[in-house]
Structures are given as C-alpha cells and as structure tokens.
Amino acid sequence: MALSNIKNIFPEGSSLKNLIWWLLAFSLFFYGVERMVSAGNNLYNRGLAVSEHTISFSGEGKVKAAPDTARFEAGLVTEGKDSITVQNENSDKINKIIKYLKSRGVVDADIKTSQYNLSPKYDYIKGKTILSGYILNQSLTVTVRDIDKVGEFLDGAVANGANQINSVSMFMDNPEELKAKAREAAIEAARAKAALTASAGSFRLGRLIGFSESSGEEPRIFYEALGKGGGVASSPPQIEPGSQEITIIVNLTYQLR
C-alpha cells in the first residue's frame, strides 16, 4: 500500500496515524543502515581476500654420510631327543656367544634375545605321527657401535657356536644433526627460489605465514645370509658400510603484498 493512501484510512490528526508514520520512518532508516553495513562488510571482506593471497615455494636439501652403527642377528638352532637336554645345550652355546661379545666391548643394552622358540619334532612312519625330538631356535640381536668390528664380531659369533647369521644392517644411530643440515639447505633453496621468482614476476613478498617439512632417508643397508651353516671362515667377512643420504623437503608460504 502506498504511503500517500494512509491519509485515506486514518483521519487527520489521528494519533494512530502519527504512530504508524513514525514506525515506517524508523523501518526505512534501519533498513538503510543495514544495507550500508552489509555493503561495508562485503568491501572489507574483498579487501581481506586480496591481502591474503599467498604463494608457496619448495626447497630440497640433501646430506650424505657413512653409517656409524651396525646391527646383526646371530642365531642358534639346537636339536635333541629330550627338551630339557636341548635347552641346556642351547643355553651353554648361547652363553658362550654372549660372553665373547661382552669380552669384545659390547654392552648389555646392545645384546637382546629376539627369538626363543622350542617346538617338537615329529616323524611320520607308516601313517603314524611319532615324536622324535625337539628343536630350539634362539636368536640374539647385536648392536655394534664400532662399525669397523662388524666382520670380526660375525666371525667370532660363528666360532663360538652360532650356526645362523640372518642379516646385517648399517645405519646412522643419531641422524638428527644431519637432518638439521639438510633442513637448513632446503630452507635456503626455497628462499632463493622465492626471491628469484618475485624479482622476475615484479611482485613483492610479504611475511612468511606457512612452513611444512617432509623427510626421506635411504633404507638401511642389509647384507643377507652371512655365515649360515655354522662353519668358521678362514678370515672375517669384509663389510663395506657405503653411504646413506638424508633428504629434507620444505615448503614456505608467503603473503603477497
């Protein structure tokens, strides 16, 4: 209904008509204020979107180093007719290996029993299952801090009763210092890329608002099936540690000015 038609509804001087006029005036006023605030918010938000435009740069850092620690597993398989006899015989042999390793400077914390499994052994004769004895498998996981002694320890373990050497792995015991160097190189690479791109693109970088990092490390070096069979080698096996590479990739995110 048009505002001019209100006069036709209410008589002149009516207090009700005056009240309605005031209500309409206030409604129009607040509607206008709301529209102004809404327009201002939209403009402000558009301004924020522009100021929050970002750009990211990645950088990679690599560090190579020789492994400083080795780990191997010395195993012992003992068979016999009686379970008690098998366990006693096995204990004598495994204790001899442990005694040898400790005499060469390996501490208690670096010698760990990783497997101990006693199981029955059966023969099948004329369709019948007959218990014929017991088999005991025991393994020691040995950590070697002096990597130059790995071959000597392998040879000594076999000479003292081990009849299985399952694997030898080489690794860096504390790679954090090397990771820090690789991280520093990765950040420098990302910064250099950011500066070069900004210069070429004729834009300015704002503050750094984001950082992420991922790392990669070459798998440990493994030497399989060393010394199996229980024989004693004429000379210790030669183990070459080689080198391992640590890679850090960083991603830097900047605001655009």
Co-location of 8 and 77 in the same domain: no
Q: Do residue 133 and residue 40 come from a single domain? A: no
Q: Which two tokens stand for residue 170?
A: 């080489």
Structure token digits, residue 179: 């990771």
For the segment 109-147, what is each residue's pLDDT rounded down to a tens digit? Answer: 999 999 999 999 999 888 889 999 999 999 999 999 998
Instruction: Indicate whether 181 belongs to any domain.
Output: no
Same domain, 233 and 128: yes
Co-location of 78 and 130 in the same domain = yes
pLDDT band at 86; cut points 50, 70, 90: very high
Regarding whether 232 and 138 lie in a shared domain, the answer is yes
Hey, which bits of the chain come out as E strands? 54-65, 69-80, 111-125, 128-144, 164-171, 205-217, 221-224, 244-256
Same domain for 148 and 172, yes or no, is yes
Residue 117 sits at φ, ψ, to 5 deg, of -135, 110
Q: Which domain holds residue 243?
A: 65-176+218-248
Q: Whole-angstrom Cα distance, residue 165 to residue 7?
A: 108
Distance (Å, whole) CA 121 – CA 222: 32
Q: Are residues 98 and 224 in the same domain?
A: yes
SS3 assignment, position 39: helix
> Tokens 């379970």 sit at which residue?
83
Task: Report yes or no on 146 lying in a domain.
Answer: yes
Is the same domain home to 135 and 233? yes
* pTM summary value: 0.61
Give me the residue label for tokens 């129009």. Answer: 28
Tally of structural domains, the chain: 2
DSSP 131-195: EEEEEEEEEEEEEESSGGGHHHHHHHHHHTT--EEEEEEEE-S-THHHHHHHHHHHHHHHHHHHH
CATH number at residue 168: 3.30.70.2970
Say yes or no: 112 and 38 in one domain: no
**What pLDDT score was predicted for residue 125?**
87
Residue type, 154: L
Task: Confirm whether 117 is domain-assigned.
Answer: yes
pLDDT tens track for 160-202: 999 999 888 888 888 898 999 999 999 999 999 999 999 998 9
Q: What confidence score (pLDDT) does residue 105 get?
A: 94
Q: Does residue 56 sit within a domain?
A: no
Helix axes 150-159, 83-103, angle to 10 degrees: 150
Q: Do residue 129 and residue 157 come from a single domain? A: yes
| CA dist., res. 193 & res. 214, Å (int) | 18
**135 class by beta-carbon count within 10 Å (0-12 exposed, 13-18 middle, 19+ buried):** middle
pLDDT of residue 127: 83
How many angstroms separate the CA atoms of 202 and 50, rounded? 17
Taking alpha carbons only, the member of 64, 54, 53, 61 closest to residue 192 is 61
Confirm whether 31 is domain-assigned: yes
Same structural domain for residues 36 and 83? no
Do 147 and 103 fall within a single domain?
yes
What is the band of 44 on the pLDDT scale with cuts at 50, 70, 90?
Answer: very low
Residues 200-245 have pLDDT tens digits of: 989 899 999 999 999 876 555 554 444 444 444 455 666 667 788 8
